[in-house]
Amino acid sequence: MADNARISRMKQKAWSMLDANRPEEAIASFKECIELEPDNVNHKIEYAVALYKLQKPDESLVVLDEILQKDPNYILALNNKARILIDKKQHKEALALYTQILNIDPKHIRTWIKAAQLMSSLGRYDKADACIQDGLKAAPEDPELWRERAIIARNDNRLEDALKHIEQSLSFKATDFDSLREKANILAALKKFKQAIETYTLALHQNKDDAEVKVSLGFALLADNQPKPALDAFEAVMKNDKNNAKVWEGRGLAFIALGEQARGLVNRGTAAMIEKRYEDAASFFDEAIQANPNFAEAWSNKGVLLEREGQFEQAAEAYRHALSLDRSAVICMHNLGMLYINHLNRRQEGLSWLKNTLKYDPQRWFKLPSELRSAVDAASYID
């Protein structure tokens, strides 16, 4: 008989290795668990999940099919296989597996929802709604089923129906975060922005750290002509996520509504740049410069865009112009220094700009590539 403590340690090691991005050791540990207890299906299921997480879907399918050969009605294996088939765009085969699960257990609520989501993703909203209705026959008071029905109706632009369904969900669980969020989304789609704001706020009482709801709240506040609170909502997300294009777009619109045209356009351009819409980004930055030719941030961001597009001389010119407007623009100094070193073969000048950067931000020294640190220390300042 296998040592349970040893197997537990091996399983723990396997997941730890997976989290540490050491796939070979993770796989070896999972295999050892299976060798120790070859009849334990849970080990094989976890191994299949690990293979899927390691982006080895075909190998995961092999393991799941081995399980299903011995027990064709093993629901967890059927569910996991369906998930992989959806990723492989084999929707018909995945739906057949969900149907098989529901024939085994008509009260398997999550499968009704997954089948509905599959139909919805294919734009077959009537079929999706039919799946949910069938699920409601088995569990008429399940709030998750009613919420999913509301989402389907909203995606199908049947907003009044969606609102009725989400109210039904909340009648069973009034403080459910996901249902409150969905109700707010529906109200926003109906352009009932004051009610949407109130409901987003209620949702945040249940989960104060949810960034998606904060962003949605920000756009609802903008639509309700409340740009300052909207900006506050976007700034709250920006503290933890500076690469969220929606946040940059929202900030941009808020700044414009508050009369800061150039700053708003720069924010919108940054959003476009994050989404790799470079032509749009260039237009926003040029508009910002037209609105305020002395706004250093617009020139700096234009330099970043030109550098990404491989226009290195033009990028350097934009950075230099930004620095002529704001001699303490630390990021701009850093970008110009690295551009000179990496792309324009002007190493000494680049090192000097990095030296200037450290004058304003000494902690940035630790962010420099190690091979540049001593060279930067020895460089001269730029007057």
Q: Report yes or no on 301 lying in a domain.
A: no
d(CA 258, CA 249) in angstroms, rounded, equals 14
| pLDDT in single tens digits along all 383 residues of the chain | 457 788 888 888 888 988 899 989 989 988 988 888 888 999 999 999 999 999 999 999 999 999 999 999 999 999 999 999 999 999 999 999 999 999 999 989 999 999 999 999 999 999 999 999 999 999 999 999 999 999 999 999 999 999 999 999 999 999 999 999 999 999 999 999 999 999 999 999 999 999 999 999 999 999 999 999 999 999 999 999 999 999 999 999 999 999 999 999 999 999 999 999 999 999 999 999 999 999 999 999 999 999 999 999 999 999 999 999 999 999 999 999 999 999 999 999 999 999 999 999 999 999 899 999 999 999 999 87
Task: Report yes or no on 330 lying in a domain.
Answer: yes
Question: Taking a C-beta distance cutoff of 8 angstroms, is the pair 355, 376 a contact?
Answer: yes
From CA 182, how far away is CA 164, in angstroms rounded? 12
Has residue 360 been placed in a domain?
A: yes
Q: Is 124 domain-assigned?
A: no
Residue 271 maps to a domain: no
For residue 276 the two structure tokens come to 């790799």
Q: Which domain holds residue 363?
A: 318-383
Asked if residue 126 is part of any domain, the answer here is: no
Give the burial string for 79-113 (b: 16+ CB within 10 Å, else e). bbbbbbbbeeeebeebbebbeebbeeeeebbebbb
Establish if 108 belongs to a structural domain.
no
**Surface-to-core class of residue 166, CB atoms within 10 Å of its CB (0-12 exposed, 13-18 middle, 19+ buried):** buried
- Pick from 279, 364, 346: nearest CA to 319: 346
pTM (two decimals): 0.84
Specify the number of domains making up the chain: 1
- The pLDDT, as a whole number, for residue 14 is 85
Round to whole Å and give the CA distance between 231 and 171. 33
Which H or E run contains 266?
helix 261-274
Can you tell me which residue has the tokens 């398997």? Answer: 108
Comparing C-alpha atoms, which of 136, 120, 196, 114 is closest to residue 163?
196
User: What are the CA-CA distances from residue 265 to residues 223, 295, 362, 367 (Å)?
Assistant: 18, 11, 31, 29
- Whether 367 is in a domain gets the answer yes
- What the block records as the tokens of 339 is 């551009």
- Which residues, including other chains, have CB under 8 Å from residue 221's CB and lie 6 or more apart? 193, 197, 227, 229, 230, 233
Distance between CA atoms of 326 and 239, rounded to whole angstroms?
A: 24
